[in-house]
């Protein structure tokens, strides 16, 4: 199913006028309400908004002097002059530069704690996409997004067409799918959007550990992993779905990782598989089946430039840390985890010249962190000889550095 979220402008009814001139005014007001931005979005101006030009905010920021709430709003509105691509607001825009200069610690803290959320709510339907992007960002906080903001963004998303604005809005609410049915339903729908960029944003939301209890989430990710037409969407779903630790995902990972024809998909699915049993930094997953398959795949040959992947290889090193409470609790639960077994499998990768050199150096860094002795490292280094060439010299250098640090 392919969904397209059509734009539509909210129009308020006007009171009946007493003469023809007031009727003409009503028509003009309605036309203004239906004004569209450059991307075809039907939008409405937020009440009380003023047009703010660059010259209105130039010189406003004084070094060492915090800006007021009114000045901050003026700066946000000045972003209406900024170009917006599918990737977001042009970073070279004058308003962006001035905003960056104005942000001191107290103002950054205010934003992080949700202190600008009311302004964001007021501007979320602004006519210019850059302002809507800023508004969406202001409606979130380190403590989550308020219920009112969630509902407002869901409503705004159903009207929005600009990809960059949609991304900003999704990012604000994507962790709220399990606790807000409206958000959860929308995330599931957006996973089938006709724009792969939006689909991937939905994937990040559906795979969030905050949404582990969202009904239908794992099933939707499985559909994307196996059947989506876009390669990058399949890869994203495969890479992040494992964070949920849902047992339904394991057979799919096993099936996809049994095929080696698509190295990029294999690499992302391998990372997702590891997330199913050792999801750093929260360690909230513990699939024994996923762990055993990981060891099996690390030991499998032939190894190539893509298999096993270099991405995340050094992350295995995060599986040791006696002072990490979450890790200690995870090890009490994951009694099947065998550190020596993992070191042995990673050592096999390091010793194989056919494996990607970055995968080998990453594996070397990992085993050094999870208990490899100096003798273990020296044995691996000996396999590279005294005159390593090509990419092998990078691995030899990494091993030399690790040996020098080892006790």
Summarize pLDDT for 126-144 with one digit per residue, the tens: 999 999 999 999 999 877 8
pLDDT digit string, tens, across residues 42-61: 444 443 345 677 677 777 77
C-alpha pair distances (Å), 17 with each of 12, 29, 30, 374:
15, 13, 14, 88
Q: What is the pLDDT of residue 134?
A: 96
pLDDT at 42: 40
Please report the pLDDT score of residue 49 as a whole number.
47
Find the range with the poorest average confidence among 16-25, 253-262, 321-330.
Answer: 16-25
Least trusted range by pLDDT, from 105-109, 252-256, 310-314, 322-326: 105-109
Q: 3-17, 105-119, 299-313: lowest mean pLDDT where?
A: 3-17
Q: Are 352 and 359 in contact (CB under 8 A)?
A: no
Q: Give the pLDDT band (50/70/90) at residue 381.
A: very high
pLDDT at 11: 34
Distances (CA, A) of 188 to 160, 183, 212: 17, 9, 13
Task: Please give the structure tokens belonging to residue 124.
Answer: 């979320």
Cβ–Cβ < 8 Å for 143, 172? no
Q: Which pLDDT belongs to residue 98?
A: 86
Instruction: Compute, in degrees rounded to 10, the torsion defined by CA atoms 73, 79, 81, 84.
Output: -150
Other C-beta atoms closer than 10 Å to the C-beta of 134 total 27
Structure-model confidence comparison of residues 198 and 56, the more confident one: 198
Give me the mean pLDDT over the 189-210 stretch.
Answer: 98
pLDDT range class, residue 31, cuts 50, 70, 90: very low
Strand partners, 36: 42
Q: Of 329, 260, 214, 6, whose CA–CA distance to 243 is shortest? A: 214
CA angle 163, 164, 166 (to 5 degrees): 65
pLDDT tens digits along 202-251: 999 999 999 999 999 999 999 999 999 999 999 999 999 999 999 999 99
CA dist 192 and 187 (Å) reads 9
Chain centroid, CA 250 distance in Å: 22
Q: Which long-range contacts (CB under 8 A, 24 or more apart) does 33-40 make?
A: 33/9, 34/9, 35/9, 35/127, 36/7, 36/9, 37/127, 37/128, 37/129, 37/162, 38/129, 39/129, 39/161, 39/162, 40/7, 40/161
Asked if the model's pLDDT at residue 123 lies above 90, the reply is yes
The label of the residue with tokens 């929308």 reads: 186
Domain ranges of the chain: 33-160
- C-alpha dist (Å) from residue 80 to 94, 168, 283, 345: 11, 16, 42, 55
Give percent of the chain above pLDDT 90: 74
For residue 78, what pLDDT is reported?
A: 93
Average pLDDT for the chain = 87
d(CA 140, CA 111): 8
Residue 88: in which H helix or E strand, if any? strand 88-89
What's the predicted TM-score (pTM) here? 0.83
Asked if residue 20 has pLDDT above 90, the reply is no
Contact of 112 with 135, CB cutoff 8 Å: no
pLDDT at 25: 40
Give how far the C-alpha of residue 381 lies from the chain's centroid of Cα atoms, to the nearest Å: 37
Task: Report d(CA 278, CA 319) in Å as an integer.
Answer: 8
372: its two tokens: 């490899």
Which of the residue ranges 106-115, 135-144, 316-325, 370-379 would you say has the lowest mean pLDDT?
106-115
Q: What percent of the chain has pLDDT over 70?
A: 84
Confidence of residue 30 (pLDDT cuts 50, 70, 90): very low
Separation between Cα atoms, residue 123 and residue 46, nearest integer Å: 6
């Amino acid at each position: 199913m392919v969904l397209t979220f059509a734009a539509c402008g909210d129009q308020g009814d006007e009171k009946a006028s007493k003469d023809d001139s007031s009727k003409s005014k009503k028509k003009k007001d309605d036309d203004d309400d239906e004004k569209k931005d450059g991307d075809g979005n039907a939008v409405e101006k937020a009440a009380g908004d003023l047009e703010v030009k660059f010259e209105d905010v130039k010189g406003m920021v004084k070094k060492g002097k915090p800006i007021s709430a009114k000045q901050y709003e003026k700066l946000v509105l000045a972003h209406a002059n900024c170009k917006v691509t599918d990737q977001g607001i042009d970073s070279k825009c004058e308003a962006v530069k001035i905003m960056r200069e104005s942000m001191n610690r107290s103002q950054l803290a205010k934003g992080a704690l949700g202190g600008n959320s009311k302004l964001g709510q007021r501007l979320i339907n602004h006519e210019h996409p850059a302002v809507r992007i800023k508004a969406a960002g202001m409606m979130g906080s380190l403590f989550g997004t308020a219920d009112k903001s969630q509902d407002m963004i869901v409503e705004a998303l159903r009207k929005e067409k600009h990809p960059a604005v949609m991304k900003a809005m999704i990012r604000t609410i994507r962790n709220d799918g399990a606790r807000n049915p409206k958000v959860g339903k929308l995330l599931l729908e957006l996973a089938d959007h006709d724009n792969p960029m939006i689909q991937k944003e939905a994937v990040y939301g559906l795979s969030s550990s905050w949404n582990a209890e969202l009904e239908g989430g794992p099933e939707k990710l499985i559909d994307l992993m196996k059947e989506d037409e876009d390669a990058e969407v399949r890869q994203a779903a495969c890479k992040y779905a494992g964070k949920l630790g849902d047992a339904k995902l394991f057979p799919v990972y096993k099936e996809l990782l049994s095929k080696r024809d698509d190295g990029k998909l294999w690499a992302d699915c391998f990372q997702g598989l590891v997330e199913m049993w050792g999801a750093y930094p929260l360690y909230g997953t513990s699939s024994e089946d996923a762990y055993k398959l990981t060891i099996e795949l690390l030991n499998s040959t032939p190894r190539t430039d893509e298999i096993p992947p270099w991405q995340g290889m050094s992350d295995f090193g995060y599986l040791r840390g006696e002072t990490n409470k979450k890790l200690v609790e995870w090890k009490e639960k994951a009694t099947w985890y065998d550190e020596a077994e993992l070191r042995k499998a990673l050592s096999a990768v390091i010793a194989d010249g056919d494996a990607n050199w970055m995968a080998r150096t990453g594996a070397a860094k990992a085993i050094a962190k999870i208990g490899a002795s100096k003798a273990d490292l020296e044995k691996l280094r000996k396999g590279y000889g005294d005159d390593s060439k090509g990419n092998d010299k990078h691995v030899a250098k990494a091993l030399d550095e690790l040996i020098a640090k080892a006790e």
